[in-house]
Amino acid sequence: MEVNLVEEALKFMLLGMGTVFVFLGIMIVAMNMQTAFVEKFLPDDPKEPDVIVSAPLDKKNKVAAIIAAILKRQAK
């Protein structure tokens, strides 16, 4: 009895690819169901974002900071 290795390889390839395809399909359906569940039972509660507002520096302070950074860089 002779076994055709090419046919056997094709069978295993189709079996493996089919298994992966089915698994990915099931995973997509499960993720869609999870999304629907989360959106239904845990709705997004829009709130004001916590924003930290720093006081704006006046022009003299900005210039002083830039000059200090340049001088510190040149000192190295």
Instruction: Tell me the mean pLDDT per 10 residues along the chain, length 76.
Output: 89 98 98 93 71 65 85 81
CA distance 16 to 10: 10
Cα(15)–Cα(34) distance, rounded to whole angstroms? 28
Residue of 33, 49, 31 whose CA lies nearest to 41: 33
CA distance 36 to 42: 10
5, 27, 28, 24: which is closest to 16 by C-alpha? 24
Confidence at residue 64, expressed as pLDDT on a 0 to 100 scale: 84
Total domains present in the chain: 1
Check residue 58 and give its pLDDT. Answer: 74
pTM (whole model) above 0.85: no
Domain that holds residue 36: 5-75
3-class DSSP state of 71: helix
Residue 10: per-residue pLDDT: 96
pLDDT given for residue 21 in this prediction: 98
